[in-house]
Amino acid sequence: MNIDITDVTRRFGRTRAVAGVTMSAGPGVLGLLGPNGAGKTSLLRMLATVIPPTSGRIRLLERDPGVAAQRRAIRRRLGYVPQHLGYYPSFTVVEFVEYFALLKEVPAAQVPRAVATAVERVGLGDKARARMRTLSGGMLRRAGIAQAIVNDPELLLLDEPTAGLDPEQRVAFRGLLRDLGQTATVVVSTHLVEDVGAACAQVALMDGGRIVFHGTPQELTARGEGRTAAGDAPLERGYSTVLAEARS
C-alpha cells in the first residue's frame, strides 16, 4: 500500500484537526471531501511529510516518514500541490518547475525533458518562458500541478487543485488525474463533487477530523437516495446525508 496510516491525530494547540484517522490506499484516485475545517489540509500535509502527526502511525511508499533517510526517499517520489503556492515572481514557469525537479533529486540529465513534459501536461507549453508574476490565477494553479508531477510521483497529493480553473481546464485536469491514477496513488481534496464523480474511483469524506465515509462515489450517491438531504446533484445528497448522520 502506498498510504498506510493508523489512528493518526494532529493537534494545533487545543484544536484536534485530525482525530484518529485510519486508512490505506493503493494506486488510483481518491477524492477527499469535507466541509471547511474538516481536517483535509492537515491530513494532506502529514501525508506530504510537511508536518508530523501528534500521534499514530504513518507509512508512505512502504517507508517511515519519521526517519530522516526514509523521509528523503519518500520526498523523491512524492508530489504535493499545497493550497497556497509559494514562488519567486521573477522565475519563468520552466525555472519554477525545474527548481522542484532539482529539490526532488531528479537526475540532472533528465531534468529538461521532465520539466518540458510536466509543463505540456498541464497545458502551459505556450507559457513556458513567461514569468510567474505574469500568470493568471488558473495558470498559477497549473504551474503548481506541473511542479508536483515533474518527478513522475508514485504518491501525488493535491489540495483543491481545481479551485480557479476554468471549465475547459477542469475537464482536462480530470483527464490528467485519471491518467496519473493508473500508476500512482493520487489524493485530491476538493469542494467540487463533479471532480469526484468524473475522476475518482474512491472517495473519503471527512468531518470534525474523522473519516466518516470511505467508499466509491456510487456508494456515496446511494447513501442519499430516497432522502430529503440538501443537494442539487445525487452525489451532493449523499454527502449531506452522511454528514447529517455523522453529526446526529
Ligand X SMILES: Nc1ncnc2c1ncn2[C@@H]1O[C@H](COP(=O)(O)OP(=O)(O)OP(=O)(O)O)[C@@H](O)[C@H]1O
Chain residues in the site for ligand X (CB under 6 A):
12, 15, 17, 34, 36-42
Instruction: Write down the least CB distance from residue 17 to ligand X, Å.
Output: 3
Distance CA 162, CA 210 (A): 23
- The DSSP code sequence of 26-40 is -SEEEEEE--TTSSH
Whose Cβ is closer to ligand X: residue 82's or residue 215's? 82
Exposure letters 214-245 (e unless 16+ CB within 10 A, then b) = beebeebbebbeeeebeeeebbbbbbbbbbee
Q: What one-character DSSP code corresponds to residue 131? A: B
Whose Cβ is closer to ligand X: residue 12's or residue 88's? 12
Which strand (E) or helix (H) includes residue 154? Answer: none
Under 8 Å between Cβ of 128 and 164: no
Instruction: Write down the least CB distance from residue 51 to ligand X, Å.
Output: 8
Distance CA 231, CA 233 (A): 6
Instruction: Write down the least CB distance from residue 52 to ligand X, Å.
Output: 13
Under 8 Å between Cβ of 54 and 12: no
Whose Cβ is closer to ligand X: residue 11's or residue 63's? 11
- The DSSP code sequence of 102-119 is HHTT--GGGHHHHHHHHH
In the block, residue with C-alpha cell 473519516: 211
Whose Cβ is closer to ligand X: residue 82's or residue 231's? 82
Whose Cβ is closer to ligand X: residue 154's or residue 159's? 159
Whose Cβ is closer to ligand X: residue 27's or residue 35's? 35
